[in-house]
Structure 1
Amino acid sequence: MLRFSALLLCWGLLPTVLAQPYQLQVLADKLHYPWALTFLPDGDMLLTERSGTLKRLSPEGDERFSIEPDLPDLLKASQAGLQEVTLTPDFATSQRIILSYACGTLQANNTCLVSAELTDAGLSDIKKIFQAQPLKAGAAHFGGRITWLADHSLVLTLGDGFDYREQAQNPANHLGKLVRLHADGSVPADNPYVAKEGYAPELYSLGHRNVQGIFYDAASQTLYSHEHGPRGGDELNIIRAGANYGWPVATEGIDYTGARISPFSHYDGMQPPVWGWSPSIAPAGMTLYRGSLFRAWQGNIFVAALAGKSVRRLVLENQQVVQEQTLFSELQQRIRDVRTGPDGALYLLTDSQDGQLIKVLPAD
């Protein structure tokens, strides 16, 4: 078991961020670019690897099964592959899960969703329920994170396809958008643009770059997401139905060439972020901590960072970030996902070809 003590690394911020001693326990290793984690009612975990593998693990990290589900047109290349796994709200009776993944070919692809029944041995009755449009070339910026709203509709994050950033402002397609769907892939009748000509009916919000973190806080009825900027300009946003989040018209980031993407960091009619990172930390998974083990972390947001090789703890007051703390940088690993477990522990996935599942517990 690895043991570390959390250190305050946010010099210059408000002094009320207190160190919370913790220990790190590696539950599983030799994972091939693990991407997402979710928890089953019996305490087991489902874990995805970008290479196309779905694993079921015991609470102790022992492997119950490891399968490569038959996902229609799965694309594996660069950032493309298997992504999110989540349980449907009626899982207790239906045993169904949702998976997101990159689908198509290098010349024609986008993000897909499937619904499947979880069995003791793997998956059955796999059905494709959504494919983002249009199909585009390349293997970058797929989004792929999922959260469930209070009405049991799901919100799926989508990327701009990297080379198609102007399309994030085109309401007729799904590039650089969040979409809202029912669990069967159908479109909710109260989506903000469902009956508006020239708008894709699935749209929930637009003007995003590559959203790889999202959660819904039922207590405050607030939907949070974050997204990658280019060089700088990573954003944490509060999502409101029908709103425009600015990309690429308004951004704090610059292009990888050093050129300015836009003269505007803010623009009328477009929502500014509630927090940002420049230089980029490359935010990945995200969770809201409501567990019982870490009192000092109650109600805090935890953001996994790839380039930042850490997890950022954000302290909120009135839906505004007032403090930030850097955690787990001693691992010196790209962190792909961070989740709150039903036991109150935090769980981390490290992003590498020899990735790990790490459990964060209070120090003894």
Structure 2
Amino acid sequence: MTNFSKLPLALSLSTFALASCANAETGDSPETTETETSFAVEPKGEFDRPWAIEFIPGTETLAITEKAGTLKLMKTKSGEVTIVSGVPEVDYGGQGGLGDVAFLASEAGREGGRTIFLSWAEAGEGDTRGAAVGRGTLNCNEDTDACAVEGLEVIWRQAPKVTGKGHYSHRITFSPDEQYMFIASGDRQKLEPAQDTSNTLGTIVRLNLDGTPAAGNPMADKGGVTAEIWSYGHRNILGMDWDAEGRLWDLEHGPAGGDELNLVEAGANYGWPTRSYGNHYNGDPITDHSADDGFTKPAIHWTPVIAPGDMIFYSGDMFEAWRGDALIAGLSSQAIVRVSIDGDKATETGRYAFDNRLRSIDQSPDGSIWVAEDGSEGRILKLTPQ
């Protein structure tokens, strides 16, 4: 166990909004975003390339995955950090390693062990690898503060495993009724498989909580991995969350330009790599979406990119004016990007600058906002109104 001494309290970070009309191409962008805003920022310790942060439901304990393969739990009141044993071996390198961590909200009041879901990059044969998701039980000994993931079993694998070390995506979310698990499955930088529904690259899959394909999926009658697919034509999805109406949204990296926020619909094809608002990294053009192209269009897209790392829909009271908005952790943009939703339309309404790349974001039980910086000395930051 590590006990972080409290770093300088309430480091004041005066944040400001950048004009979104230069960055968001929707045809309906406002002339300006929110005016200058400030909030108190309290550093809560440094971690080695944190990838995901998630509050354990019903507690003030924050679970933190470190990309090289470590899972840690932080008691946010005291700053005490425990390393959790029993995590899987990961294929660390490139964009791969230990990924997401997720819990069931319905277990908020549960005594003893609770269900934990983890995602990671898993090695295969012949220099191949792919995303995997496992389910186990998180148990902690109150006397020793030792914690372990027990009975971890792989319940889903990206298919097929391929060469390369990019675009695993592997974010995990559950439907509001917790009947289904949705997993983001990136295109692994292979492009064309995202339009081929005989595999799960470039898709969002919808599963039962044991990892089997959910009944009623759009291509359930085709069997195999195709039966897992909920939507396809995605590139690299690094954020998924549910709005107040119970609708699923995804946030994905475009290539050179064209980051997207999408309302996720059953059976929808989002066009990658046939259509995109960006270009290939070598400068080769990709045809933009058109009204008659047959693909589902993003609710908002960004050029220059914001390089999203994660997203939540804010539902707390501390930042009351932001309730119902999407808050996006930006990597190259080094910002929290705030997006307001109106029906199926989305508009950037705020952008708040930070000193470093932001990898992950979560909301605590008290409504404060927590973010994880990217990198080998990535700080966990608590944000409260100032």
Q: Distance in 2 between matches of 1:57 and 1:298?
A: 26
Is residue 195 from structure 1 mapped to residue 212 from structure 2 by the alignment? no
One-letter identity of the residue aligned with 2:187: D
The offset of 1:319, in angstroms, is 3.5
**Deviations 1:220-266 (CA, angstroms, capped at 9, x unpaired):** 12111010011001100000011000001110111111111x33433
Is residue 26 from structure 1 mapped to residue 43 from structure 2 by the alignment? yes
Q: Match of 2:18?
A: 9
One-letter identity of the residue aligned with 1:263: T
| TM-score, structure 1 normalization | 0.93
8 Å Cα contact 2:300/2:347 also seen in 1: no
Q: Specify which of 300, 303, 308 is matched with residue 283 of structure 1.
A: 308
The offset of 1:201, in angstroms, is 0.7
Q: Distance in 2 between matches of 1:286 and 1:169?
A: 25
Q: Which moved more, 1:90-99 or 1:112-121?
A: 90-99
Correspondences of 1:178-327 after superposition (within 5 Å): 178-196=204-222, 200-217=226-243, 219-260=244-285, 262-266=286-290, 268-327=293-352
Q: Per the alignment, in what secondary structure is the counterpart of residue 324 of structure 1?
A: strand
Q: Match of 2:188?
A: 161
Q: Specify which of 76, 91, 111 is matched with residue 131 of structure 2.
A: 111
8 Å Cα contact 2:275/2:288 also seen in 1: yes
One-letter identity of the residue aligned with 1:334: R
Q: Which moved more, 1:119-128 or 1:196-205?
A: 196-205
> Given the superposition, is the C-alpha separation of residues 323 and 263 from structure 1 closer, same or farther in structure 2, using an over 3 Å criterion?
closer
The offset of 1:61, in angstroms, is 6.0
Q: Per the alignment, in what secondary structure is the counterpart of residue 195 of structure 1?
A: helix
One-letter identity of the residue aligned with 2:40: Q
Q: Which moved more, 1:267-276 or 1:12-21?
A: 12-21
8 Å Cα contact 2:69/2:87 also seen in 1: no
The offset of 1:321, in angstroms, is 2.0
One-letter identity of the residue aligned with 2:75: S
8 Å Cα contact 1:84/1:144 also seen in 2: yes
Q: Distance in 2 between matches of 1:70 and 1:183?
A: 19
Is residue 100 from structure 1 mapped to residue 119 from structure 2 by the alignment? yes
Q: Distance in 2 between matches of 1:38 and 1:159?
A: 21
Q: Match of 2:76?
A: 59
Q: Which moved more, 1:264-273 or 1:46-55?
A: 264-273
One-letter identity of the residue aligned with 2:203: K
8 Å Cα contact 1:191/1:201 also seen in 2: yes
One-letter identity of the residue aligned with 1:271: T
The offset of 1:18, in angstroms, is 5.0
8 Å Cα contact 1:18/1:296 also seen in 2: no
8 Å Cα contact 2:327/2:339 also seen in 1: yes
> Given the superposition, is the C-alpha separation of residues 185 and 68 from structure 1 closer, same or farther in structure 2, using an over 3 Å criterion?
same
Q: Match of 2:4?
A: none
8 Å Cα contact 2:85/2:149 also seen in 1: no
The offset of 1:14, in angstroms, is 5.0
> Given the superposition, is the C-alpha separation of residues 87 and 15 from structure 1 closer, same or farther in structure 2, using an over 3 Å criterion?
same
8 Å Cα contact 2:327/2:338 also seen in 1: yes
Q: Which moved more, 1:236-245 or 1:93-102?
A: 93-102
Q: Per the alignment, in what secondary structure is the counterpart of residue 21 of structure 1?
A: strand
The offset of 1:8, in angstroms, is 3.2
The offset of 1:16, in angstroms, is 7.7
Q: Match of 1:85?
A: 101
> Given the superposition, is the C-alpha separation of residues 96 and 54 from structure 1 closer, same or farther in structure 2, using an over 3 Å criterion?
same
One-letter identity of the residue aligned with 1:145: R
Q: Distance in 2 between matches of 1:34 and 1:198?
A: 34
The aligned length equals 356
The offset of 1:305, in angstroms, is 1.1
Is residue 341 from structure 1 mapped to residue 361 from structure 2 by the alignment? no
Q: Give 5+ residue unaligned stretches, structure 1.
A: none
Q: Match of 2:166?
A: 140
One-letter identity of the residue aligned with 1:159: G
Q: Match of 2:25?
A: none
The offset of 1:122, in angstroms, is 2.0
One-letter identity of the residue aligned with 1:119: N
Q: Give 5+ residue unaligned stretches, structure 2.
A: 1-8, 22-29, 141-146
8 Å Cα contact 1:111/1:131 also seen in 2: yes
> Given the superposition, is the C-alpha separation of residues 14 and 257 from structure 1 closer, same or farther in structure 2, using an over 3 Å criterion?
closer
One-letter identity of the residue aligned with 1:248: P
One-letter identity of the residue aligned with 1:321: A
One-letter identity of the residue aligned with 2:74: L
> Given the superposition, is the C-alpha separation of residues 353 and 100 from structure 1 closer, same or farther in structure 2, using an over 3 Å criterion?
same
The offset of 1:60, in angstroms, is 2.9
Q: Per the alignment, in what secondary structure is the counterpart of residue 121 of structure 2?
A: strand
**Cα RMSD between the aligned structures?**
1.9
The offset of 1:19, in angstroms, is 4.2
Q: Per the alignment, in what secondary structure is the counterpart of residue 189 of structure 1?
A: coil
Q: Distance in 2 between matches of 1:11 and 1:159?
A: 27
The offset of 1:55, in angstroms, is 0.4
The offset of 1:199, in angstroms, is 6.7
**Percent identity of the aligned residues?**
31
